[in-house]
Structure 1
Amino acid sequence: MSQTDLSAAPGGTAQNASSQATGQSVSSPHVEFIDVRKTYDGETLVVKNLNLEIQRGEFLTLLGPSGSGKTTSLMMLAGFEVPTSGDIRLAGRSIARLPPHRRDIGMVFQNYALFPHMTVAENLAFPLSVRKMPKAEIGERVAKALGMVHLSQLGGRRPAELSGGQQQRVALARALVFDPQLVLMDEPLGALDKQLREHMQLEIKHIHESLGVTVVYVTHDQTEALTMSDRIAVFNNGIIQQIDLPDRIYQQPCNSFVANFIGENNRLNGIVREVSGGICRVELKTGQSVFAAAVAAHEPGQPTTLSIRPERIGFQPTQDEAVTSLEARVLERIYLGDHLRLRLAVADAEDFMVKVPFADSAEAFQTGHAVSVCWAAKDCRALDPV
Structure 2
Amino acid sequence: MAETQASDVLVSFRGVQKSYDGETLIVKDLNVDIRKGEFLTLLGPSGSGKTTSLMMLAGFETPTSGEILLAGRAINNVPPHKRDIGMVFQNYALFPHMTVAENLAFPLSVRGMSKTDVAERVKRALSMVQLDAFGGRYPAQLSGGQQQRVALARALVFEPQLVLMDEPLGALDKQLREHMQMEIKHIHQRLGVTVVYVTHDQGEALTMSDRVAVFHQGEIQQIAPPAELYEHPRNSFVANFIGENNRIAGQLQSRDGDRCVVSLARGEKVEALAVNVGEPGQPVSLSIRPERVRLNGHSENCANRFSGRVAEFIYLGDHVRIRLEVCGRTDFFVKQPIAELDSALAVGDVVPLGWAVEHVRALDPLPAA
Query: How high is the TM-score relative to the length of structure 2?
Result: 0.97
Q: Which amino acid aligns with 2:299?
A: P
Gap regions ≥5 residues in structure 1: 1-19
Give the CA RMSD over aligned residues.
Answer: 1.2
Q: 1:222 aligns with which of 177, 193, 202?
A: 202
- TM-superposed CA distance for 1:319, in Å, is 5.0
Q: Which amino acid aligns with 1:294?
A: A
Q: Runs of 4 or more off by more than 4 Å in structure 1?
A: none
Matched, 1:118 2:104: no
**In 2: Cα distance, 1:264 partner to 1:172 partner:** 31
**In 1: Cα distance, 2:15 partner to 2:205 partner:** 25
Deviation digits for residues 42-75 of structure 1 (CA, Å, limit 9, x no counterpart): 1000001111100000000000000000000000
Which residue does the alignment assign to 1:76?
56
- TM-superposed CA distance for 1:302, in Å, is 1.3
**In 1: Cα distance, 2:127 partner to 2:4 partner:** 32
Matched, 1:317 2:299: yes
Q: Which amino acid aligns with 1:65?
A: P
Which residue does the alignment assign to 2:258?
278
**In 2: Cα distance, 1:364 partner to 1:287 partner:** 31
Q: Which amino acid aligns with 2:161?
A: Q
Q: Which amino acid aligns with 1:196?
A: L
Query: How high is the TM-score relative to the length of structure 1?
Result: 0.92
Q: Which amino acid aligns with 1:122?
A: E
Q: 1:35 aligns with which of 15, 31, 34?
A: 15
Which residue does the alignment assign to 2:33?
53
Q: Secondary structure at the match of 2:262?
A: strand
Q: Answer whether contact 1:280 1:297 (CA < 8 A) is retained.
A: no
Q: Secondary structure at the match of 1:286?
A: coil
Matched, 1:239 2:202: no
Which residue does the alignment assign to 2:141?
161
- The within-5 A match list for 1:15-34 is 20=1, 24-26=4-6, 28-34=8-14
Q: Answer whether contact 1:325 1:374 (CA < 8 A) is retained.
A: yes
Q: Answer whether contact 1:62 1:216 (CA < 8 A) is retained.
A: yes
**In 2: Cα distance, 1:227 partner to 1:185 partner:** 15
**In 2: Cα distance, 1:336 partner to 1:319 partner:** 28
**In 1: Cα distance, 2:194 partner to 2:248 partner:** 40
Q: 1:262 aligns with which of 234, 237, 242?
A: 242
Which residue does the alignment assign to 1:364?
344
Q: 2:130 aligns with which of 150, 166, 181?
A: 150
Q: Which amino acid aligns with 1:367?
A: V
- TM-superposed CA distance for 1:317, in Å, is 2.8
- TM-superposed CA distance for 1:348, in Å, is 1.6
Q: Secondary structure at the match of 1:30?
A: strand
Q: Answer whether contact 1:121 1:156 (CA < 8 A) is retained.
A: yes
**In 2: Cα distance, 1:378 partner to 1:261 partner:** 20
- TM-superposed CA distance for 1:131, in Å, is 0.1
**In 1: Cα distance, 2:301 partner to 2:227 partner:** 29
- TM-superposed CA distance for 1:28, in Å, is 4.2
Number of residue pairs matched? 364
Which residue does the alignment assign to 1:193?
173
Q: 334-343 or 160-169: which moved more?
A: 334-343
Gap regions ≥5 residues in structure 2: none
Report the identity percentage: 65
Which residue does the alignment assign to 1:251?
231
**In 1: Cα distance, 2:49 partner to 2:35 partner:** 21
**In 1: Cα distance, 2:160 partner to 2:51 partner:** 20
Which residue does the alignment assign to 1:13?
none
Q: Secondary structure at the match of 2:343?
A: coil
Q: Which amino acid aligns with 1:383?
A: L
- TM-superposed CA distance for 1:370, in Å, is 0.3
Which residue does the alignment assign to 1:329?
309
Q: Secondary structure at the match of 1:38?
A: strand
**In 1: Cα distance, 2:166 partner to 2:142 partner:** 21
Which residue does the alignment assign to 1:375?
355
Going from structure 1 to structure 2, the CA distance change for 1:372 and 1:195 (only over 3 Å counts) comes to: same
**In 1: Cα distance, 2:6 partner to 2:253 partner:** 40
- TM-superposed CA distance for 1:365, in Å, is 2.3
Which residue does the alignment assign to 2:43?
63
Q: 2:329 aligns with which of 338, 341, 349?
A: 349
